[in-house]
Structure 1
């Protein structure tokens, strides 16, 4: 029995929901596993290597409320798929090296009839086997999925679940045959918005080539001698939300060794060659950005009088344009105070922000 409760003015203890939720989350099997999980494959090789080598996390955050809410929502979604649509859920899959838990699986008709008598409403037609992964997302993250589609890592994950099912990786299951290949013809990703419940679904036929790419990625990590031998595949804290929430970010980016409020990415400037490469990347990006801004500005002017609506593959909508309410005029205030002979209140100006200038050195003949 935990004692982290607060007492209100009535003297009645109030259990701390989030402290308990974080304790519960850290005791989940997925939080403790040391085999490589499909959800880690395709994200960042160094992060995956920390997991494989059993590195103790350096950053166990106590503010992962959104992630825990997603876990609770996830459990409810799987219950609906199981009880109302006949899915087998939370299937433990492993080949002894990779360990994962497929969210939902619909067996082909002949296996389904032999294994289960639950409702057939919403099941895949004919003899198709379908494996599904469910992901809860913030509205902003869901918008990225709508605009760009699933990431490579997400396709890797659901294809690996299919691969493990197809190669007899199902373990200790009461209804389906274990240790035997199970058919999977379609892989599906279902995204559910945490704020408003929007649902976005992507599915495709199972692709052996995608599985081979995912297994090659995993093999690279599994054969690494140590985590530091693996590259950082993401941009780092402040630039990647995955890095911001990584349990190994301090170890990976040496955050405990930073000084002078410098960015974590400064550790990548190891020598003059690295600095030169960063300058080249900055100059190249600045030139592309400048050209893109000019094109965008011209297109914006052209569209200024266009009505909202759908034009081919694009949807145009407008927002704003309403009158703003009056706001204080600092310059007028200063003039009034000076006219009254009153000293103008001042505060520390701090430091100006550092600006960078990168230009190409002219080539000499």
Structure 2
């Protein structure tokens, strides 16, 4: 941007007074002195033929408006134009936007997205984690594109039976390896560390690979790469391309598209907003899907109001509670027996498990009321003239340790996979 334009914007800012803006013209005269009903005409004193707003004033207005914007607001604003490009008109059979990325989506959420009931208004959702993931994903793609220029990045592929093209992250046509990137927060990173990628995410990668295979490309392996947002750590998992597994996943997606063609309401795949954070924070259909407002008015949970509608449903819910209570009691007894077997075992890694000592960390200093009382009692017997002012006394603090205990953990799934595959890692 031209330095002269910035300097003129600064000059206009220094000349601003309280009240409505003058919106000066390029000729220097304010808008209201120009001719015409809308003050868009000429101004004889400056030989101006017509009003044209000064670009420096436009720049000043934008700079002042942006001065108090938070980073999160800017990210959301930058994402909005891309999302608005999606068609808003009602969709018809053969126009469903179902792709490989829907393998892990709740079918009822897809139904609301693709064929919502009349009067449906999506609820606001928390998109901060998604925006952070998009920023990291875009940065990864840009850097890997520079490192490996022969690889194909962010390419569209077509799957038979689906109306919308899918888009993979990265494909190496020389080695036949397809890469799928995932960013992970604390919860997701812990789940991946325990169990590895869920089958729905393997299905997504296998579907991209199937599309490439059907297009005549070499596909040997699918790799899922997780990047932890907090620490920057990454872990990679791989599987051979499995055409049969990919076709089964494709069959499940085409079944959803067929149900939409027939106008069939799709079932819910998640437990509900009381127990599932995805429902509670990230699903725009939650209010209508789970009748949240009606449930609140009735004094019931959304799940109870929606799913438990008669005496038979109540009996079923009581049976589920009783069954899981018995299973929990049995599991706790078995865990206590196993815990006794580990008493005195030194912390270390044993095969697929880690036996670790956690806790015992010093906490931050905190006020110590008991020490404060002893401090004041020690000063009580002094003559009043010798006692220090209360404000001059340092308030005593104490530091305690977090609870210390032994904990059993599984070695992270990526490490287990490397150990099981000679030559990898």
* TM-score after normalising by structure 2: 0.62
Q: How does 1:180-259 map to 2 (within 5 A)?
A: 181-225=216-260, 229-244=265-280, 245-258=282-295, 259=297
Q: Deviations over 1:239-293 (max 9, x none)?
A: 2232221122122112232225532111110222322222222111111110111
Higher helix share: 2
* Counterpart among 139, 144, 152 of residue 186 in structure 2: 139
Q: Tell me how large the CA RMSD over aligned residues is.
A: 3.1
- C-alpha contact 2:136 2:183 (8 A) present in aligned 1: yes
* Counterpart among 64, 87, 106 of residue 127 in structure 2: 64
- C-alpha contact 2:154 2:167 (8 A) present in aligned 1: yes
Partner of 1:50: 112
Q: Deviations over 1:192-242 (max 9, x none)?
A: 000001111111011122212211211221122478721111111132232
* TM-score after normalising by structure 1: 0.72
Partner of 2:69: 15
| Structure 2: tracts of 5 or more residues without a match | 1-57, 88-95, 371-425
- C-alpha contact 1:49 1:224 (8 A) present in aligned 2: no
* Counterpart among 24, 28, 35 of residue 97 in structure 2: 35
Helix, strand or coil: the match of 1:160?
A: helix
- C-alpha contact 1:4 1:16 (8 A) present in aligned 2: no
User: CA separation in 2, counterparts of 1:328 and 1:282?
Assistant: 45
Count the aligned residue pairs: 295
Partner of 1:152: 199
Q: Which has the higher contact order (CA 8 A, sep 6+)?
A: 1
| Structure 1: tracts of 5 or more residues without a match | 109-127, 169-180, 330-365
Distance of aligned partners of 1:224 and 1:12 in 2 relative to their CA distance in 1, 3 Å threshold: closer
Runs of 4+ in 1 over 6 A off after TM superposition: 1-7, 322-329
Distance of aligned partners of 1:288 and 1:23 in 2 relative to their CA distance in 1, 3 Å threshold: same
User: CA separation in 1, counterparts of 2:220 and 2:212?
Assistant: 11
- C-alpha contact 1:46 1:231 (8 A) present in aligned 2: yes
Partner of 1:88: 152
Asked if 1:163 corresponds to 2:201, the answer is no
Distance of aligned partners of 1:88 and 1:279 in 2 relative to their CA distance in 1, 3 Å threshold: same
Partner of 1:125: none
Q: Deviations over 1:297-347 (max 9, x none)?
A: 232233232211012321111112468889779xxxxxxxxxxxxxxxxxx
